[in-house]
Amino acid sequence: RKEVEQDPGPFNVPEGATVAFNCTYSNSASQSFFWYRQDCRKEPKLLMSVYSSGNEDGRFTAQLNRASQYISLLIRDSKLSDSATYLCVGDYGGATNKLIFGTGTLLAVQP
């Protein structure tokens, strides 16, 4: 079975903290990975794409370890506006363009 697994949290962190989310995947055929952010009662929005070993965008860093089938997302200097659910996503593999979504990790940044 193709799965993406995440710690559901919640992660309660103070403003300014650094927080890391971990994700494991079981489908060895997956090549592309993503982190999506989903605010309450909203649709998921693409945060970062991870095609090689990692990607960095401002305060956000994603790392991919294919040998361990492990992806992480690091958020530095957390802001109140970072509070959301973060979804780890991998592709099915092959040419289907289908994605497998993890169950999400809830982050609550406290003032």
List of residues contacting other proteins (CB under 8 A): 32, 34, 41-46, 49, 51, 87, 91, 96-99, 101-104
- Shortest approach of other proteins to residue 46 CB, angstroms? 6
| DSSP secondary structure of 24-87 | EE--TT---EEEEEE-TTS--EEEEEE-SSEEEETTEEEEEETTTTEEEEEE-S--GGG-EEEE
Q: Among residues 75 and 88, whose Cβ is nearest to other proteins?
A: 88
Minimum separation from the CB atom of position 108 to other proteins (A) = 16
Between 1 and 81, name the residue whose CB sits nearer to other proteins.
1
In whole angstroms, the minimum distance from the beta carbon of 14 to other proteins comes to 26
Element (H, E) at 5: strand 4-6
